[in-house]
């Protein structure tokens, strides 16, 4: 480049560069270009840099020693991790062992409301996987059953089937008030061993109780297929987890079931905005009461409705 081209009225003239006094080291990356291919922008820039150095009397090869080495495979992996958003923190989370599920715990928040073991405390899980019937609902249910059965101070003697028993509070209440035996149907092994059985032991009803660790739907299906294997019941309580049951299908199973005795009472706890039939086989609706977001429905024989009104 001619020195006249760099002359300016505002700047002093530039002297010719001295190659020995000038030390200019610029990092240059070698970019391979396929032979016969049209020069790319990067290749043209590399040639421009070489020409610039040559004009100042410098050897362009002396400035290619500091070029960055090709990235190793490890660097490529790190770069891919950063691009994918994982990074080192995510990698540590991926290799870290997963935490073991926290142990389930119980507390004594329930009690028997009436009968022989009145005010006896009962265990219940602290978690929400089991939803015991509220005490106000349980108390109202047994008041209705005793009135409809013609025994205001106690239950009419009989057998009780407690479906979705959970803590067993309903069946235990039934035995405390006069039932001779209760069959509990509960599928959760932990609830059976840590809650239901201890509650039966502390109330003294374990010897007159039968526990069936099976899904309610399967229990009803097995009873329908093998008639005579199980006795018929005088009371059946249905207190399921609201989101895990189809009430129409469940009541259809009970209509066909040999478990339902001739003078049976069926107690059903169900959520709001759920359509329930007026009858369950030959049993009619004798009570349907609301407790907040919970409804209590009781089916029974025709004579029970007359006694309740009397």
Instruction: Break the chain into its structural domains and give their ranges.
Output: 12-86, 106-309
Residue 92 confidence (pLDDT): 43
Handedness of CA 253, 255, 258, 262 (dihedral sign): positive
Round to whole Å and give the CA distance between 166 and 200: 12
**Who's near 266: CB < 8 A, 6+ residues apart?**
235, 236, 237, 238, 254, 260, 280, 283, 298, 299, 300
User: What are residue 269's DSSP bridge partners?
Assistant: 296
- Residue pLDDT, tens place only, 101-141: 678 888 888 999 999 999 999 999 988 777 789 999 999 99
Q: Residue 220 corresponds to which tokens in the numbers above?
A: 């009803």
Residue 34 in tokens: 């396929």
| 3-state secondary structure (DSSP) of residue 240 | coil
Q: Which fold has domain 106-309?
A: Rossmann fold (3.40.50)
Q: Is the pLDDT of residue 172 over 70?
A: yes
Structure token pair of residue 185: 């149907």
Instruction: Give the separation between CA 285 and CA 172, rounded to whole angstroms.
Output: 24
| Mean pLDDT value across the chain | 80
Q: Average of pLDDT values for 259-273?
A: 93
Helix, coil or strand: residue 14: coil
């Amino acid at each position: 480049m001619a020195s006249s081209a760099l002359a300016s009225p505002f700047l002093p003239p530039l002297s010719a560069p001295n190659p020995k006094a000038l030390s200019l080291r610029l990092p240059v990356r070698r970019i391979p270009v396929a032979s016969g291919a049209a020069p790319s922008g990067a290749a043209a820039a590399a040639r421009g840099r070489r020409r610039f150095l040559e004009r100042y009397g410098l050897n362009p090869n002396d400035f290619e020693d500091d070029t960055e080495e090709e990235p190793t495979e490890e660097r490529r992996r790190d770069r891919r991790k950063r691009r994918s958003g994982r990074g080192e923190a995510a990698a540590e989370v991926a290799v870290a062992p997963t935490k073991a599920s926290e142990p389930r715990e119980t507390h004594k928040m329930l009690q028997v409301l009436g009968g022989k073991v009145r005010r006896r405390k009962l265990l219940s899980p602290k978690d929400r996987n089991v939803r015991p019937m509220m005490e106000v609902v349980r108390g109202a249910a047994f008041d209705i059953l005793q009135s409809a059965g013609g025994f205001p101070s106690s239950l009419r003697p009989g057998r009780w089937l407690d479906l979705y028993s959970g803590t067993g509070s309903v069946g235990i209440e039934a035995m405390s008030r006069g039932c001779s035996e209760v069959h509990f149907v509960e599928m959760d092994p932990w609830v059976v061993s840590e809650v239901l059985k201890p509650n039966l032991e502390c109330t003294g009803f374990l010897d007159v109780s039968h526990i069936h660790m099976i899904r309610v739907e399967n229990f009803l299906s097995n009873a329908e297929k093998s008639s005579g294997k199980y006795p018929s019941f005088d009371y059946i309580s249905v207190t399921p987890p609201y989101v895990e049951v189809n009430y129409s299908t469940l009541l259809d199973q009970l209509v066909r079931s040999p478990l339902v005795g001739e003078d049976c009472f069926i107690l059903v706890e169900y959520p709001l905005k759920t359509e329930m039939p007026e009858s369950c086989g030959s049993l009619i609706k004798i009570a349907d009461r609301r407790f907040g977001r919970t409804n209590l429905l009781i089916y029974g024989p025709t004579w029970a409705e007359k006694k309740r009104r009397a």
